[in-house]
Amino acid sequence: MTAPFTHEHEFETQDLMINMGPQHPSTHGVFRMVLQIDGEVVRDVIPYIGYMHRGGEKLAETMDFRQGIGWMDRTEYLAQHNAELSYVMAVEALAELEVPERAQWIRMILCELNRLSSHFMFTGAFGTDAGVFGTAFVYSFREREVILDLFEEISGDRLMYAYFRPGGLAWDVPANFERRVAEVLKSTKQGIKDMDGLLTENEIFRARTVDVGTISAADAIDWGCTGPVLRASGVPLDLRRTEPYLYYDQVDFDVVTGTNGDVYDRFVVRVEEMRQSVRIIEQCMERLRPGPFLPDRLPRMLRTPPGEIYLRTEAPRGEYGIYMVSRGGNRPYRLKIRSSCFANLQALRDMTIGSYVADAVVILGSLDIVLCEVDR
Amino acid sequence: MRGLLKSMGVTLSVFARKPVTRQYPETHRPLPERDRAFPLLLWDENLDEPFCTGCHACERACPVECMTVLMKDNPAHRSQGGTSTRRKIIDKFWIDYGRCMRCNICVEVCNFDAIGMNNTWQGHEQSVYDRADLIQDLPQLLAEHKAGDVKPWIAP
Ligand code: SF4
Ligand code: SF4
């Protein structure tokens, strides 16, 4: 811990250390930070993580490739399809599996829908952090629920889908899939409009967020930030564009960037990204054709040849990477998850120092962390 | 000020929409066919015995090892003078619902379509006062399908 910071005053003052979390409604999970404050101004932040550590990487090494998928859901519980995708794509690359076209398109649709549901969660929770208590939260949850209902109809579960498989999908989507996606998109578009109208121009919201928690592009890159946090600083890095996977090279979408790198930009980037996701899904739906959802020849127990791979995809919170070492056999020898939230959280100290105590919550909220992913 | 009014406009416009909430314990949302609650065993009505042969495939494939399977010779098999075609049958079966992560793998690996995921609200509402009560034994696992209360969806 750093030595108490003293200030030039007529009388001597001492900085106050206050503890925030782990049980705090605004820490988005179990996260603790110790704030060193001088009056209202934050002088230093010491974050403590690890409360949610479940040894996930090691645990996944004891599970075969199908069992591990269920585990991936639990590391990233707001973007489960994206997390599963990284994992199954790593296995596919190691085992050199061909994935049928239909499975790829469905994966893309589900991942983008998952991005929507995750960003809805963000806008709601962030609105609450910024003082729009309740309204934004319940509105965004209403929209998120529509998407989760669709996921439940497809995979059977509201949160822990375990729906992707190495080689394709566990089973085909229901017959009314196209109609249901159209319905969901309709309500989602309305939802995006609502969130936009509710917050983007709201003066109170802007007063709380503009020029708060600013981070420059160079700093964001140095800290290893990815996803909307990096793009809000003006760096157009989107893995869907820079190293396309699935069929992202065949669809049209814009990489959304901000200019200031402040909390407000991070919010606006995400709202705009939601519109882009809707665009991607609409294009995917046009390209979706009937066909198989698993390769013709798939062994009962998948084994991979020895090798190693690092595979990354663009999850809603940034780069979600899987480093997998195989020594042959039906389970990874070593699995490492590159967590986007963990890297983004590193920048918290830089962003928070010098701001007000009340803004610390807003800055943390703007990073959109999932503590299960940070600690794994 | 304009932005504030716009926000108020959004809030007001919601008054005109239909409510989406339900009074949960009284009204239940209809569940989709594929809904996955907890696994349960299926009952073969034609032969009046469980489908399960106790082959241990699901037990081995379960990621959290929450199942215990014991098999026995089927007393109703043809060679014993009965009518059943199952030489082996399930003797004892436990699933610890407190550990199960509802991943559907047991359903996928079963060669006899003997296990399925409960897709009713009874399957979800499993609160008990003691964790040990979440360990379900064979009669409990079979009861619901035997009574015809559930029709699990098994992926083709
Ligand atoms: S449920 Fe199926 S897989 Fe499990 S022991 Fe019975 S027959 Fe075998
Ligand atoms: S659903 Fe998964 S965790 Fe539950 S008993 Fe079946 S295999 Fe085990």
Nearest chain A CA: its distance from B27 CA (Å):
17
CA distances from A34 to A126, B24, B143 (A): 21, 39, 53
Q: Is the CB of residue B87 below 6 angstroms from any atom belonging to ligand 1?
A: no
* pLDDT recorded at residue A133: 66
Per-residue pLDDT at B129: 92
Q: Is B107 in the pocket of ligand 1 (CB under 6 A)?
A: no
How many whole angstroms from B98 Cα to the centroid of ligand 1? 20
- pTM of the full structure: 0.87
Which two structure tokens, joined as six digits, stand for A248?
């992202």
**Res B35 pLDDT > 80:** yes
Which ligand is located closest to the Cα atom of residue A162? 2
Number of neighbouring beta carbons within 10 Å of residue A300: 5
What's the one-letter identity of residue A339?
Answer: S
Closest CA to A105 of A246, A279, A315, A239: A246
Length of chain A: 376
Report the nearest-CA residue for atom 4 of ligand 1.
Answer: B58
Site of tokens 């995708």:
A85
Check if B116 has its Cβ closer than 6 Å to any atom of ligand 1.
no
Q: Give B14's contacts in chain A (Cβ within 8 Å).
A: 139, 194
Instruction: Provide the number of CB pairs (under 8 Å) joining chain A to chain B.
Output: 77
User: Domain extents for chain B?
Assistant: 37-147
The answer to whether ipTM exceeds 0.90 is no
pLDDT at B101 over 70: yes
Q: What is the mean pLDDT of residues B33-56?
A: 86
**Residue A252: strand, helix, or coil:** coil
List chain A residues with CB under 8 Å of B106.
none
Domains of chain A: 16-375 (1.10.645.10)
> In degrees, to the nearest 5, what angle opens at C-alpha A31 toward C-alphas A30 and A34?
145
Instruction: Using DSSP, state whether A100 is helix, strand or coil.
Output: coil
The CA–CA distances, whole Å, from A323 to A26, A103, A308, A317, A335 equal: 32, 23, 7, 18, 6
Residue B34 φ/ψ region, left for φ over 0, alpha for ψ in the -120 to 50 degree band, beta for the rest: alpha
Task: Report the nearest atom of ligand 2 relative to the CA of B102.
Answer: 1
- State residue A4's pLDDT score: 53
B40 CB near ligand 1 (under 6 Å): no
Shortest alpha-carbon distance between residue B35 and chain A (Å): 4
Share of chain B above pLDDT 90, in %: 1
* Residue A259 φ/ψ, nearest 5 degrees: -120, -40
Please tell me the distance from the alpha carbon of residue B82 to that of residue B128, in angstroms, as a whole number. Answer: 40
- H or E stretch including A169? strand A168-169
In angstroms, the separation between the Cα of residue B71 and the nearest Cα of chain A is 23
- The C-alpha atoms of residue A356 and residue A280 are separated, in whole angstroms, by 39
CATH number of B37-147: 3.30.70.3270
Low-confidence ranges of chain A (pLDDT < 50): 1-2
CA distance A303 to A99: 16
Q: Which residues of A touch B3 (CB under 8 A)?
A: 200-203, 205-206
Three-class SS string for chain B? Answer: CHHHHHHHHHHHHHHCCCCCCCCCCCCCCCCCCCCCCCEEECEECCCCEECCCCCCHHHHHCCCCCEEEEEEECCCEHHHCCCECCCEEEEEEEEECCCCCCCCHHHHHCCCCCEEECCCHHHHCCCCCCHHHHEECHHHHHHHHHCCCCCCCCCC
Q: Which residue of A has its CA nearest to B61?
A: A67
Any idea which ligand is nearest the CA of B92? 1
Contact at 8 Å (CB) between A19 and A339? Answer: no
